[in-house]
Amino acid sequence: MDDRQHTGGLRNQTWANLVLQGLVVLFGMLTVAFLLNLWGRQSPPHPIPPVDPAFLDTATVRRSYADLVRAQEDLSDFDCYTCHEKNKPPVLRYDANQNLLIPPEHADIVMGHGQHGRNNNCFNCHNETNLELLQPRDGRPLTFADSTPLCGSCHGPTYRDWEAGAHGRISGYWNRTLGSIKRQDCVNCHNPHSPKFPPRKPAPGPHLLHETEPVAAETAH
C-alpha cells in the first residue's frame, strides 16, 4: 500500500468518526429537548362519540307482504273476502270535491298517492273484480307479494334504477358467482297509499380523528 492510499484511508476513517460523533451529539440534544418538553405536549384527543344505533340498523322501515309470508305471520288483514263479496266490485264513494271517502273499516289508510289526489282511487292499483290481485297499467294480474312491477308500471325511471341496483338498497354480492343479491320491494320503504318518503336525519360523516379549527362565520359586507 502506498502513502496516498494510506492517507486516503485515514481521511475517510476520520470523516466517518466525525459523522458518528455529530449524530451522537444531535440525538443527545433531541433526547434532552424531549425530556425537558421544549415543544410542549399535545392535548389528549376528545373521545369519539359512538354512532347512533339507528344508523346501523339494516331493517327496512316497513315489512312487505312477501316478508310476512316468509315469516309465516298472520295474513288475515289481507283476506279481503272476509268482508267483501266475491265477484262484486266494492262501491267507491266520494265527497262533493271528488275526494275518496275512506270507509270506517279502513280508517287506518291515508290516501296521498300523487299530487291533487289524482291517484286516490283504489282501482288504479287493486283489481276491482278480484281484490286479491293488483293490476298494473299493462293489465297483467299481480299478487300482493309481487307488487314492485305494479309501481314500475308508472314509475319507469325509478324502476330501471331499482333493477340496476341504484335504488332500493340492494344487498348481497355484485359478483353473482360468490352469492345471490336481494332487492327490497318498493313497499319495504314506501307506503303504497301514501308513498312520499318522510325526511330523515342524515348519518354522520367519517370522524377526522384530529382537532379542527371552528369555521368563522362570514361577515356581511
The H or E element containing residue 14 is: helix 3-35
SS3 194: strand
Closest CA to 183 of 169, 194, 195, 173: 169
- Beta-strand pair 142-143/171-172: unpaired
On the question of pLDDT at 210 being above 80, the answer is no
Backbone angles phi, psi at 123, to 5 degrees: -85, 5
Q: Which residue has the higher pLDDT, 17 or 117?
A: 17
Indicate the domain borders of the chain.
61-188
Q: How confident is the model at residue 152 (pLDDT cuts 50, 70, 90)?
A: very high
Cell representation of residue 167: 335504488
Q: Does residue 161 have a pLDDT over 70?
A: yes
Q: What is the pLDDT of residue 8?
A: 58
What local confidence, expressed as pLDDT, does residue 39 receive?
72
Beta bridge partners of 191: 194
Question: In the prediction, which pLDDT does 2 show?
Answer: 57
Report, as an integer, the average pLDDT of 186-199.
91
- Residues 5, 11: Cα–Cα separation, whole Å: 10
> Look-up: residue for cell 362565520?
217
Report d(CA 66, CA 166) in Å as an integer: 22
Instruction: Tell me the per-residue pLDDT of 68-120, one tens digit each, with 9 for 90 and over.
Output: 999 999 999 899 999 999 888 999 998 888 888 999 999 999 888 887 777 78
Query: How crowded is residue 80: how many other Cβ atoms within 10 Å of its Cβ?
Result: 14
The predicted structure's pLDDT at residue 5? 56
Residue 146: CB partners within 8 Å, gap ≥ 6? 66
The pLDDT score that the predictor gives to residue 4 is: 57
Spatial CB neighbours of 49, under 8 Å, sequence gap ≥ 6: none
* pLDDT at site 51: 82
Q: Do residues 210 and 45 make contact, with C-beta atoms less than 8 angstroms apart? A: yes
C-alpha count within 13 angstroms, C-beta hemisphere, residue 78: 15
Instruction: Quick: pLDDT tens for 119-141.
Output: 788 999 999 999 999 999 888 89
